[in-house]
C-alpha cells in the first residue's frame, strides 16, 4: 500500500485494522475473565468487519491493478 501510495491506506490500516485489534483485545479479556458471551452483537461485529474488509481489499486490488500490479 505504501509502496504504491494507496490513498485509502490510512483508513485500511489505521482505522479498520486498529478497530479490529481493539475489539479482539476486549474479547480476549472477557475470555480470560470468564465473562465472554458470543452474543449477537459480537457476531455481528465480526461479520460486518469481514464484509467491510473484503470490500476494502477489493478496492485496494482495483487500485493496485490500475498501477500495473498483478
Q: Where are the domains of the chain?
A: 9-66
Cα distances (angstroms) measured from residue 70 to each of 5, 39, 60: 16, 40, 12
Tell me which DSSP letter residue 6 carries.
-
Q: Is 5 left (phi over 0), alpha (psi -120 to 50) or beta?
A: left
Per-residue tens of pLDDT for the chain, all 70 residues? 888 888 988 888 888 889 899 999 999 999 899 998 888 988 999 999 999 999 999 999 999 999 999 8
Q: What does pTM read for this prediction?
A: 0.71
Q: Which long-range contacts (CB under 8 A, 24 or more apart) does 61-68 make?
A: 63/4, 63/6, 63/7, 63/8, 64/4, 64/6, 67/4
Amino acid at each position: 500500500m505504501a509502496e504504491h501510495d494507496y490513498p485509502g491506506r490510512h483508513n485500511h490500516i489505521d482505522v479498520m485494522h486498529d478497530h479490529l485489534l481493539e475489539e479482539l483485545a476486549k474479547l480476549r479479556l472477557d475470555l480470560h475473565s470468564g465473562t465472554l458471551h458470543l452474543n449477537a452483537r459480537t457476531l455481528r461485529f465480526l461479520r460486518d468487519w469481514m464484509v467491510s474488509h473484503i470490500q476494502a481489499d477489493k478496492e485496494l486490488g482495483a487500485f493496485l491493478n490500475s498501477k500495473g500490479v498483478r
